[in-house]
Chain A
Amino acid sequence: MKPPILGAAPQAISVSRQEASAGVDVYGDYATLPVPKSELRSTLNIFMVYMGVLAVIAAIFAGSGLAQMYDPLTTIKVSLAGNALLALFGGLIAYIGGSTRANTYMLLRYPLGRLGAAIGSLIVSGIPLIIWFAVETWLFGMTVNVIYPHHALTSIAAASLWGGLLMMLTAYYGFRAIAVLSYITVPFWYVLVTIGFFAAIDLHGGFNALWKAKPPHPAALSLGITYVFGVYAAGSVITSDVARYGERKWSGAAAWSAHVLIFMTLLLFAGAAMTILTKSPNVIVAIAQIGMGVGALLLAILGQWTTNDNNLWSASLAWINVTGRLTKRQWVLITGVIGTLIAALWGGYYGMSMEPFIKFGVELGNFIPPVGAVLIADYYIVSRILGRRYTFGPGTRYSIANVPGLLAVFLGGAAGWLATHKGLHLPTGVGTIDSIIVAFLLYLALALTLGRAGVRFEIGEWVERPTGF
């Protein structure tokens, strides 16, 4: 399997429809049930799945964004800082998945409640994944335009339109051949990026030229850290979706942390270096300019094809969880059309500009992390102090809404936004860090104070059915 872009819920580890340890796996992939022991995988397998998530053009494309903000050395520092945060944050959530064998949506039932988990699912998956689909579709349009310029049907807007519809249809019908080819591209993608990096060094003045490069308008470090965190924020919050398959509790945490700290940093730097050295507007143009050939660009398209399909599938699952209406395939059409239109408008208005991509990454870094922060606070601290265990299965009782959890998510997001856009220090001034700190502390303060005072802070009650819903 090749899981989604730096975002969507992975479907790579696909398993047959069967009975799980408790309940019936009606939806496949144990979407609403804990993973049984017979399906557990090695730490190396989990690592490979995460590497598949990262093997998309958006990862090095994000490096192009950094190239417009910083010099190469600062790019490395910002990448390391953002990725260290991601490693810690996602690692803690992955450990929860490894311990409970539950996916993100199930885990969120405790810190947010049944309804709150649906809202959290929308914040993490439902809305961002439609935009991620649009981003990848826009990248598709841009790549086609670089390969075949000067034709009405290959303008960025037009190619985004037909490319998005094509990807939506393959997601709707499912084409195994495309899925297999896309899966085959993953290992070579890393080699290609490495070759591209050294080719750019070879052609454009060596490492000396790289280290001397400076952007015309350097950005604040806090913006870059939030951006780096943001482009993989959704992925970091849903690490448990993969980690729950790990044979050891720490398998997912170790695999996640290693891949993000080492390989995400390298990809960001490689993307930035290629963009800087070739003086290209983005890494797609850079790859073409280096002379890696049409094949490399087609490979980029192929590699992200199923990733984008997965974005639609995961977004659809989130919307079903929220609305309880329509089928997954109907939601694929709805979200696909919306995402395609956004991509076409984006391509028509911004062309190849990195501006909207950077803004999108920053906002993800503000609003998604609080969901994970509340989960971490609840699992590691609140549930232990208040004597509550994370259990799942038919008959388990959950609240409808966990009020402190929901408050912490929204206020944490607001704190991140204020730090990024208004320069407030709440307390650090780095949007993504402030959103995590505010959500984490606010939830702890409210839940522990109310819990110890004997005040019920959760509203309503919902009993899990055999299907997991």
Chain B
Amino acid sequence: MSEQESLKRLALISIAVMLILGVASMAVGATLENYRARYLLMLLGGIVVVDSAVYLPIVYARREDPRRIAVPALQSLWISTSMGLGYLVTAPAPYFQLSKALEAFMAVVGAIMLVYGLYSLLVISRRSGVPLAV
């Protein structure tokens, strides 16, 4: 597999993982009675889903040099990773009155998004030579 194909594969998988986690959040959110928790999960999950759904076909269609693949991938992952941080920050906030189980769910989803997102961002940036701030 060429360096370019490997980079594209990593970018696509990373965005797809974010998309799945976003959909899972929205699905869980839709079932909740606590309206604060429901809106929170729908908002964070919704942003990740829209972001990933928009960028996934863009990255998939790019076939030229690694920089052209990396730029949209970094933009998409930047937003998703940031929302991952949001899961971690909002889960323990008193305002939302989340149950322990939901708090744990958000912490796990947030941690995966944050750690995996940061890893993908740094690897894609290093391999393509595109700075993080794109």
Quick one: which of A41, A184, A185 has the most chain B CB within 10 A? A184
Task: Decide yes or no whether B21 CB sits under 8 A from chain A.
Answer: no
Partner of B47, one of A45, A191, A296: A191
Min CB gap A464→B, angstroms = 28
Choose the segment among B2-10, B24-32, B88-96 that binds chain A (4+ C-beta atoms closer than 8 Å). B88-96
Q: How far is the CA of A65 from the CA of B78 in the complex (A)?
A: 31
- The answer to the question of A123 belonging to the interface, with a C-beta cut-off of 8 Å to chain B, is no
Interface assignment of A327: CB less than 8 Å from any CB of chain B: no
A/B pair count, beta carbons within 8 Å: 87
The residues in A between 162 and 188 inclusive whose CB is less than 8 angstroms from any CB of B are 180, 183-188
Is B14 in the interface zone, CB < 8 Å from A?
Answer: no
The reply to whether the CB of A339 lies closer than 8 angstroms to some CB of chain B is: no
Say yes or no: is A219 at the interface (Cβ < 8 Å to chain B): no
B56 contacts A by Cβ under 8 Å: no
Smallest beta-carbon distance B51→chain A, Å = 9
Picked from B75, B92, B117, B132, the residue with its CB within 8 Å of the CB of A293 is B92
Partner of B133, one of A52, A191, A299: A52
Asked if B88 and A290 sit within 8 Å, CB to CB, the answer is no
Scan residues 293-326 of chain A and give those whose CB is less than 8 A from a CB of chain B.
293-296, 298-299
CB pair B75–A291 under 8 Å, yes or no, is no
- Cβ-defined partner of A195 (8 Å) among B43, B92, B114: B43
Prevailing SS type, chain B contact patch: helix
Q: What 1/0 flags go to B71-113 for Cβ under 8 Å of A?
A: 1000100110111011011101111000000000000000000
CB of A364 to closest CB in B, whole Å: 26
B131 touches A13 (CB 8 A): yes
Which one of B82, B114, B117 has the highest number of Cβ atoms from chain A below 10 Å of its Cβ? B82
Q: Does B50 contact A (CB under 8 A)?
A: no
Q: CA separation between A91 and B83, bound complex, in Å? A: 31
Residues of A within 8 A of B89 (CB): 188, 192, 293, 295-296, 298-299
Q: Please tell me if A199 contacts chain B, counting CB pairs below 8 Å.
A: yes
Question: Among the listed A44, A188, A290, which residue makes an inter-chain contact with B86, where contact means beta carbons less than 8 Å apart?
Answer: A188
Number of interface residues of A (CB under 8 A): 35
Distance (whole angstroms) from the CB of B71 to the closest CB of chain A: 8
Closest partner residue, chain A, to B125 (CB atom): A180
A295 to B79 alpha-carbon distance, docked (Å): 19
Q: In angstroms, how far is the closest chain A Cβ from the Cβ of B119? A: 11
| C-alpha spacing A299/B118, complex, angstroms | 17
Task: Say how far A205's CB is from chain B's closest CB, in angstroms.
Answer: 16
Given A180-B118, A295-B88, decide whether A195 and B78 contact each other with a Cβ distance below 8 A: no
User: Which of A1, A13, A41, A184 sits near B85, CB closer than 8 Å?
Assistant: A184
Is A12 engaged at the interface, CB distance under 8 Å to the other chain? Answer: yes
Q: When chains A and B are docked, how far (Å) is the Cα of A294 from the Cα of B89?
A: 8
Q: In the complex, which of the residues B75, B79, B134 has the most CB atoms of chain A within 10 Å of its own CB atom? A: B134
In the complex, whether A411 has a CB less than 8 A from a CB of chain B is no
Within the assembled complex, what's the spacing in Å between the Cα atoms of A53 and B44? 22
Whether A292 contacts B88 in the complex (CB less than 8 A), given A2-B133, A41-B134, A180-B122, comes out as: no
Q: Please indicate the chain A residues that have their CB under 8 angstroms from the CB of B92 in the complex.
A: 293-295
Chain B residues with CB below 8 A from A463, complex form = none
Q: Chain A, 263-304, contact with B by CB distance < 8 Å: what is the 0/1 string? A: 000000000000000000000000000111111101100000
B81 proximity list for chain A (CB < 8 A): 184
In the complex, whether A106 has a CB less than 8 A from a CB of chain B is no
Interfacial chain B residues near A184, Cβ < 8 Å: 78, 81-82, 85, 114, 117-118
Q: Is the CB of B78 within 8 A of A293?
A: no
A188-B82, A192-B89 known; A293 vs B95 contact (CB < 8 Å): yes
Measured between beta carbons, the chain A residues less than 8 angstroms from B118 are 180, 184
Contact of A199 among B47, B95, B114, B133 (CB under 8 A): B95
A48 on the interface (CB 8 Å rule)? yes
Q: Which 4 A-B pairs have the closest CB atoms?
A: A293-B93, A291-B95, A1-B133, A295-B89
The contact sample of 30 A-B pairs, CB cut-off 8 A, is A2-B133, A13-B133, A14-B133, A15-B131, A45-B134, A48-B133, A52-B133, A180-B121, A184-B78, A184-B82, A184-B85, A187-B78, A188-B83, A188-B89, A191-B43, A191-B44, A191-B47, A192-B90, A195-B43, A198-B39, A199-B95, A293-B92, A293-B95, A295-B89, A295-B90, A295-B93, A296-B90, A298-B89, A299-B85, A299-B89
Interface residues of A (CB under 8 A from B): 1-2, 12-15, 41, 44-45, 48-49, 52, 180, 183-188, 191-192, 195, 198-199, 202-203, 290-296, 298-299
Besides A186-B78, A293-B95, 17 other CB < 8 A contacts?
A: A1-B132, A41-B134, A48-B133, A180-B118, A180-B121, A180-B132, A183-B132, A184-B82, A184-B117, A192-B90, A198-B39, A202-B36, A291-B94, A291-B95, A293-B90, A299-B85, A299-B89
